[in-house]
């Protein structure tokens, strides 16, 4: 009987299946996004951490998760709208874009690091970087190693929407209306202004929607709100 | 194999919460064996509810009249509106019997997974009610989940410009709850919301 054990899997989504059964989608360290059925009185909370094991009669079946919620990282932030929205958006995004049962240990680690640092002031900046990593995990990684037009690699300012490669400020200026803005914090160690965050979110959204064909969580639009960025 | 009419009834019943095909079949058999005492009254009750129940245009509650009996009750306070996720929550608060104000049923909470955005919820109707005046407090009785609290913050943002007090339900140790069995998140919330006792 196929079975695997996991610790601290992130609950990406949960919905009632019957009266006391829930269809749950988890982000696990070993098998990436994994769905299963949980039985119990209480539906596992989105963005909670769940530890236990998955078991099914056959490998291709949905199977059941047996275990318990071990932590609720969102608990300290229930009064913090911006962080809650960001966390909800992350869970919705991972649930929407990640293929099932495909290991992404690096992404899992990055997500856990981001959650651990949710209380820091730069959580939105790190969130945009995390979206870049998610893009990369689903096969749409952006190339920010050099200027695609042969320009200065130390002054990258744009991304080509066609190729996903970076373009320097000098070479891209003429095509400003056709290129996507690349905020500096995404390719080098630099601080981020609210405008940079907005540009970063627009950049990743473009590739998720137009290249990946994904539907982004509606709550993501609110991350662009002025209020969220005025932190 | 039973008659097609009975199969249709079983199929319809099996779609109800907690009922599967087997339990639906048992329920149908039970009703067929008690036609006069249970089946016919059940049909009458179902028909009556289906004919008469409608959503309240003011608060979203389900009742036989519009506005509902809660919205029409002059003894209930008009200055407080308790915002709930759905009618089941409204009924739960009514069962407890400690709240004597009005309600507003949102019809869900913001959800990334189900694509429920602010437009799908009855938030504009709530803003209209507050804008009409006479409201002193909005009580956000939404689930203590990330979706529920995100919705609460969104509603609070929308009402920020109105002179109303916005409050949420307290979170923490439930009645009869032992600390040993509580999850870390609940303990953390309970601890941060601790109250002074005595003098």
Is the pLDDT reported for residue B112 higher than 80? no
Clarify whether residues A83 and A190 are in a common domain.
Answer: yes
Q: Which of A71, A97, A122 is the last residue of a domain?
A: A71
Residue pair A54/A4 in contact (Cβ under 8 Å)? The answer is yes
Query: How many CB atoms neighbour CB A141 within 10 A?
Result: 14
B112, B157, B189: residue with CB nearest A227: B157
Mutate which of A131, A219, A227, A230 to test chain B, going by most B C-beta atoms within 10 A?
A219
Chain B nearest-CA distance from A186, in A, is: 25
Chain B nearest-CA distance from A221, in A, is: 10
First to last CA, chain B: 73
Would an 8 Å CB–CB cutoff place A213 in contact with chain B? no
Chain A nearest-CA distance from B136, in A, is: 22
Can you spell out the DSSP letters for A124-170?
A: HHHHHHHHHHHHHHTT---B-SS-TTS--TTSEEEE-TTT-BEEEHH
Q: Which helix (H) or strand (E) holds A202?
A: helix A194-206
CATH of domain B4-52: 1.10.8.420
Q: Which of A49, A71, A93 is the last residue of a domain?
A: A71
Would an 8 Å CB–CB cutoff place A71 in contact with chain B? yes
Q: Which of A71, A96, A121 is the last residue of a domain?
A: A71
Clarify whether residues A44 and A139 are in a common domain.
Answer: no
Would an 8 Å CB–CB cutoff place B161 in contact with chain A? no
First to last CA, chain A: 50
Can you spell out the DSSP letters for A80-112?
A: -HHHHHHHHHHHHHHHHHSPBT---HHHHHHHH
Q: In what order do the strands lie in the sheet with A180-181?
A: A166-168, A156-159, A180-181
| pLDDT on residue A154 | 78
| pLDDT on residue A229 | 55
Clarify whether residues A12 and A114 are in a common domain.
Answer: no
pLDDT tens across A55-112, in order?
A: 999 988 999 999 988 888 888 888 888 899 899 999 999 999 999 999 999 999 999 9
Mutate which of B185, B188, B190, B191 to test chain A, going by most A C-beta atoms within 10 A?
B185
Strands B54-55 and B80-84: unpaired
pLDDT tens across B136-171, in order?
A: 999 999 998 889 999 999 999 999 999 999 999 988
Q: What is the mean pLDDT of chain B?
A: 90
Query: How many CB atoms neighbour CB B156 within 10 A?
Result: 16
Clarify whether residues A139 and A200 are in a common domain.
Answer: yes
Q: Do B189 and A221 touch (CB under 8 A)?
A: no
pLDDT confidence band for B91 (50 / 70 / 90): very high
| ipTM metric | 0.77
Q: Does residue A139 belong to any structural domain of this protein?
A: yes
Residue pair A178/A189 in contact (Cβ under 8 Å)? The answer is no
Nearest C-alpha in B relative to A215: B115
Strands B165-168 and B137-141: parallel
Chain B nearest-CA distance from A9, in A, is: 16
Would an 8 Å CB–CB cutoff place B171 in contact with chain A? yes
Q: Does residue A225 belong to any structural domain of this protein?
A: yes
CATH topology of domain B62-196: Dna Topoisomerase Vi A Subunit; Chain: A, domain 2 (3.40.1360)
Q: Note down the domain range covering A87.
A: 78-144+182-229
Can you spell out the DSSP letters for chain B?
A: ---HHHHHHHHHHTTSTT--HHHHHHHHHHHHHTIIIIIHHHHHHHHHHHHH-EE-TTT--EESSSS-HHHH-TTS-SSEEEEESSHHHHHHHHHHT---SEEEE-SS--BTTTTB-GGGTTHHHHHHHHHTS---EEEEE--SSHHHHHHHHHHHHHTTTSS-EEEE---SPPTT--GGGS-HHHHHHHHHT------
- pTM of the full structure: 0.82
Q: Which contacts of B12-17 are long-range, i.e. CB under 8 A and separated by 24 or more positions? A: B17/A18, B17/A19
Mutate which of A84, A115, A214, A224 to test chain B, going by most B C-beta atoms within 10 A?
A84
Q: Do B147 and A46 touch (CB under 8 A)?
A: yes
């Amino acid at each position: 009987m196929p079975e695997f054990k996991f610790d601290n899997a992130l609950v990406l989504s949960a919905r009632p299946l019957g009266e006391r059964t829930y269809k749950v989608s988890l982000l696990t360290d070993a098998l990436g996004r994994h769905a299963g059925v949980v039985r119990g009185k209480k539906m596992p909370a989105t963005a909670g951490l769940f530890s236990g094991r998955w078991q099914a009669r056959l490998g291709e079946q949905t199977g059941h998760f047996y275990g318990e919620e071990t932590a609720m990282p969102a608990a300290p932030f229930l009064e913090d709208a911006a962080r809650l929205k960001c966390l909800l958006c992350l869970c919705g995004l991972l649930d929407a874009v990640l293929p099932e049962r495909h290991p992404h240990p690096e992404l899992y680690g990055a997500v856990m690091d981001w959650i651990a640092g949710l209380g820091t002031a730069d959580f939105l900046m790190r969130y945009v970087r995390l979206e870049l990593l998610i893009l990369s995990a689903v096969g749409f990684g952006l190339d920010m190693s050099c200027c695609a037009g042969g320009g200065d690699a130390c002054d990258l300012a744009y991304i080509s929407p066609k190729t996903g490669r970076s373009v320097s400020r000098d070479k891209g200026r003429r095509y400003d209306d056709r290129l996507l803005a690349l905020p500096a914090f995404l390719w080098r160690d630099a601080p981020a202004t609210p405008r940079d965050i907005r540009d970063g979110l627009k950049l990743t959204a473009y590739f998720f929607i137009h290249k990946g064909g994904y539907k982004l969580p509606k709550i993501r639009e609110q991350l662009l709100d002025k209020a969220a960025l005025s932190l | 194999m039973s008659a097609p009419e009975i199969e249709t009834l079983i199929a319809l019943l099996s779609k109800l919460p907690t009922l599967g095909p087997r339990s639906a079949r048992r329920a149908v058999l039970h009703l067929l064996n008690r036609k006069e005492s249970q089946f016919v009254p059940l049909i009458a009750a179902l028909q009556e509810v289906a004919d008469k129940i409608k959503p309240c245009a003011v608060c979203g509650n389900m009742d036989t009249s519009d506005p509902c009996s809660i919205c029409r009750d002059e003894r209930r306070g008009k200055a407080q509106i308790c915002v709930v996720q759905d009618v089941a929550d409204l009924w739960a608060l009514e069962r407890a019997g400690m709240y004597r104000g009005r309600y507003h049923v949102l019809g869900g909470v913001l959800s990334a997974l189900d694509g429920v955005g602010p437009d799908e919820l009855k938030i504009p109707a709530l803003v209209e009610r507050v804008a009409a005046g006479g409201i002193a407090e909005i009580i956000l009785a939404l689930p203590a989940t990330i979706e529920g609290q995100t919705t609460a913050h969104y509603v609070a943002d929308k009402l920020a410009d109105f002179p109303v007090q916005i409050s949420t339900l307290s979170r923490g140790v439930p009645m009869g709850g032992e600390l040993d069995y509580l999850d870390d998140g609940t303990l953390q919330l309970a601890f941060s919301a601790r109250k002074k006792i005595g003098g």
